Amino acid sequence: MPSPAPDSTIPSLPSSIQHTDLQPPPSPRTHRALRRLQSAHTLGASRNVAAVSSFNQPSLISQQRLREQQHQQHQQQDGNGSPTRGRGASGRARANSDATPPLVHQMNTLTATRRPGSKKPVFSHGHLTLSQIIRDGPADGDYVGALESARWKVIDEGVKSAEDGMSTVRIYVWLILLDAPILSTDDYLALIHRGASPAYSKIRNDTFRTLTTDPLFRRRVSEASLIRLLNAIAWKLHDVKEEERLTLPSTGRSSMARASLASNASESSQGKPEPGVYVQGMNVLAAPFLYAARGEAEAFVAFHSLLTRECPGYIRGAMDGVHRGLALVDKVLAIVDPKLAMYLTAKGLSAEIYAFPSVLTLCACTPPLPEVLRLWDFLFAYGPHLNIVCIVAQLTIMRSQILESPSPNKVLRSFPQLNADLVKSVTIGIIKKIPDDVYGEIVNHTL
């Protein structure tokens, strides 16, 4: 990976912000030359519009997943004439991180292994550790086998990490599970050197509030690092939006004609969704990536893949995907625990009131951070859409406390400390109770 430019090449800070007291971003394990740049506070000084090379080419694993998924669909259709379970009413395919095999089959297999006398499923790379699979790659080009083995090991053994959640392998596990492309440091720096994005003021209003009560995060990740990452993401989202705008003819046409053209263009793109934008709360969603990554470029490409491939509906328009997720929290809770659901409804408490941060941030708003990382291992292995079920799991875990409280709103203002293993275990049990059509909604709600 190319090294960033030395500090001597960085322009001096504008006088208007020289008084800002930046804390040097601590990095006890690796030398982070990138974070010495302190370029977050020079973003407003210049606006370099140099083009940044695209890095959204499909990876080998992505292509292999698609071929395998198509093969499985053909097999099932030939056998019983029905498509795989991973499609909802809209006909959209299962999310990238949940391609094959179908999640419920995998989860039922997992549950079976915990019964007396049962055996673990056999995968092609099952004899290797997760670290070996990540380090050595697939044997004999068996990308699907290596991926499925890695997913199994994530849930069966977990990602080995220290008490503070730090792991030398976790960020690479995430990059693979999120199917993130390779990005050079120079490409990331090119985004940084463009200056302040149109969303820069919104970013600055959010970053200083990010996980302020978490000493682990504050010690490892600086606000300057978070600003750089979010500003680079904002530029990428802005560029996509600009490209779409420029493809619509506008000169010499009335606003009505342009609206008609836009409508036709939308139809001709076969339902291609509108680009995303920077939204409040994205700072919390970015925080675990910076904490787990060995450098900002790694955190950037993993975060960008999550937003644009797995959860585009969360950052589009009025965050429609988030609101669909909140409605699904209510629906799933009513299925698995009708008494608890009715009690909350009687108190006027819908998920829109108490679960918005948990849905938007994939539970990153609930401490402690090391447990968030372990829960994310699970979500990235089997699909971030399962966060909806994880939230319902947390509600059932605190069921007695909610039902015994005359004002459950006070209880729900702050969820109990996250216990990733317990949440995963309860989530797996809940999945078996969800009807196929509702599960299809869960899969598709992030898109």
Tokens for 228, please give them. 């750089």
The pLDDT confidence band at residue 272, using thresholds 50, 70 and 90, is low
pLDDT for position 380: 96
Q: For 1-25, what is the mean pLDDT? A: 39
pLDDT for position 169: 93
Name the residue among 338, 413, 332, 418 with its Cα closest to residue 370.
418
Q: For 112-119, what is the mean pLDDT? A: 36
pLDDT for position 69: 56
pLDDT for position 121: 55
Q: For 288-303, what is the mean pLDDT? A: 96
pLDDT for position 99: 36
pLDDT for position 72: 54
Q: What angle do CA 209, 21, 26 make, to 5 degrees?
A: 75
pLDDT for position 317: 81
| 318-444 to CATH, choices 1.10.472.80, 1.20.58.1030, 1.10.540.10, 1.10.1520.10 | 1.10.472.80
The pLDDT confidence band at residue 412, using thresholds 50, 70 and 90, is very high
Where do the H-state alpha helices sit in 167-276?
A: 170-177, 185-192, 200-207, 215-220, 223-246, 255-268
Task: Assess whether pLDDT exceeds 90 at residue 173.
Answer: yes
Phi, psi of 224 (to 5 degrees): -60, -40
pLDDT tens string 243-266: 888 876 554 444 454 444 444 444
pLDDT tens string 139-170: 888 888 888 888 988 988 889 999 999 999 99
Least confident of 313-317, 377-381, 441-445: 313-317
pLDDT tens string 281-292: 999 999 999 999
Widest CA span of the chain, in angstroms?
75
pLDDT for position 157: 87
The pLDDT confidence band at residue 115, using thresholds 50, 70 and 90, is very low
Task: Quote the percentage of the chain above a pLDDT of 90.
Answer: 54
Where do the H-state alpha helices sit in 81-182?
A: 103-113, 130-136, 143-156, 170-177
pLDDT for position 143: 85
Task: Assess whether pLDDT exceeds 60 at residue 59.
Answer: no
Tokens 């606003």 belong to 255
Average pLDDT over the chain, rounded to an integer: 76
pLDDT for position 91: 37
Least confident of 129-138, 257-266, 300-309: 257-266
Name the residue among 159, 196, 161 with its Cα closest to residue 174.
159
Task: Assess whether pLDDT exceeds 70 at residue 14.
Answer: no
Task: Assess whether pLDDT exceeds 60 at residue 366.
Answer: yes
Dist CA 183 CA 186 (whole Å): 8
**CB count, 10 Å around CB of 83?**
12
24 vs 337, residue with greater confidence: 337
Task: Assess whether pLDDT exceeds 70 at residue 399.
Answer: yes
Q: For 426-430, what is the mean pLDDT? A: 95
Q: For 108-133, what is the mean pLDDT? A: 58
Task: Assess whether pLDDT exceeds 60 at residue 55.
Answer: no
pLDDT for position 74: 57
45 vs 318, residue with greater confidence: 318
Q: For 195-202, what is the mean pLDDT? A: 95
Give start-end residues of each CATH 1.10.8.270 domain in the chain.
184-247+273-310
Give start-end residues of each CATH 1.10.472.80 domain in the chain.
318-444
The pLDDT confidence band at residue 125, using thresholds 50, 70 and 90, is confident
Tokens 């259709």 belong to 77
pLDDT for position 249: 56
Name the residue among 367, 370, 415, 390 with its Cα closest to residue 158.
370
Q: For 404-423, what is the mean pLDDT? A: 93
Least confident of 96-110, 231-245, 272-286: 96-110
Task: Assess whether pLDDT exceeds 90 at residue 109.
Answer: no
Q: For 83-110, what is the mean pLDDT? A: 38
CATH architecture, domain defined by 184-247+273-310:
Orthogonal Bundle (1.10)
pLDDT for position 67: 53
pLDDT for position 24: 42
Q: Give the DSSP per-residue string, 255-324.
A: HHHHHHHHHHHHHHTTSPPPPP---TTHHHHHHHHHHH-SSHHHHHHHHHHIIIII-GGGSSTTTHHHHH
